[in-house]
Amino acid sequence: MKSLSRRTALAAAGFAAIASLGTSSVFAAEKLKVAGIYTVPFEQQWVSRIHLALKAAEARGEIEYKATENVANPDYERVMREYANGGSQLIFGEVFGVEAAARKVAKDFPKIAFVAGSSGKPTGNNFSVFDNYIQEPSYLSGMIAGGMTKSNKIGLVGGFPIPEVNRLMNAFMEGARSVNPKVTFSITFINSWFDPPKAKEAAFAMVDKGADILYAERFGVSDAAKERKVLAIGNVINTQEQYPDTVVASALWNMQPTVDEAIKQVKAGTYKAADFGPYSTMKYNGSSLAPLGTFESKVPADLKKKVADKQAEILAGKFAVKVNDAQPKP
């Protein structure tokens, strides 16, 4: 009987160990619950970078991802609270118009990680910020524009004159001036993140004044360039496929490094409020200059060399593109 009891006890212990392993295994395999809250459509260039990076993590089986687009500013706090109360462990978004409300929600849910596009600083222990620090490829694309213009007039159309837009325009202009001191600029902000018709009309006005290259910070500008048969420089995403005879180059933003780092930290239990902005730089593969593609043979060889040399200097840490968040001036 003693032997039987001993065998029974050993078996019970074995089953307990297996059950314990199984439980921890299941726990480790649980997908992180992530939410995305966006004030514009998923296809809008800025938000599309976040959304696609999170969709990629979902496709890899790392997260369970839910998202809401076109959230009006007055509704943003409500949607944040719904996701927070619904079990989300990590919430991404862009809170430029709802900074105070977003930070209030984060304070009310200290165990949830928030990572938001923001002009502000990290708050508390759980509210992190990021931004499109793609001034390096913006500078390089400006060099191409400065070397390609024939009229020495370049037009820039942006959404709002906030740091996230200003720094890219300023870098672009500095890049253009570095190869062409004679270049001049016209600048318009349409006061909207997504109004292609308004951006298009602003671009038309610039072409009418002699601009032969347009900086397309907003959707609609490349359409205007195509119609008026002038060139365009893209921003954040590469639209050359849609405009093969119009878009010369683009400064690309890749949110994957930022998203991956946030997911890794939350899963490891090491997450804390921080500025994730540096993960958007070329050093971390968070940004890049798009291939010239259809313009490979149209951009002068000497200009391509200047751009390649400058890119090498940036990557080697020998040249730093100035981060200038002030509103750009012609």
Contact by Cβ (8 Å): 262, 154 = no
pLDDT tens by residue, 163-199: 889 999 999 999 999 999 999 999 999 999 889 999 9
pLDDT > 70 in the chain, percent: 91
d(CA 154, CA 167) in angstroms, rounded, equals 17
pLDDT of 2 over the 90 cut: no
pLDDT tens by residue, 47-76: 999 999 999 999 999 999 999 999 999 999
Structure tokens that stand for 109 in this block: 């849910």
pLDDT tens by residue, 99-124: 999 999 999 999 999 999 998 999 99
Contact by Cβ (8 Å): 184, 153 = yes
Domains of the chain plus CATH, in order, are 30-130+255-284 (3.40.50.2300), 135-253+300-315 (3.40.50.2300)
Mean pLDDT of 82-110: 96
Starting at the edge strand found earlier in the chain, the sheet holding 213-216 runs 184-189, 153-158, 213-216, 231-236, 247-253, 287-289
Structure tokens that stand for 174 in this block: 């500095």
CA 36 and chain centroid, separation: 13
Structure tokens that stand for 292 in this block: 């010239």
pLDDT of residue 146: 98
Task: Burial-class residue 17 by CB neighbours within 10 Å (0-12, 13-18, 19+).
Answer: exposed
Mean pLDDT of 277-293: 96
pLDDT of residue 29: 53
Backbone angles phi, psi at 108, to 5 degrees: -75, -15
d(CA 289, CA 129) in angstroms, rounded, equals 24
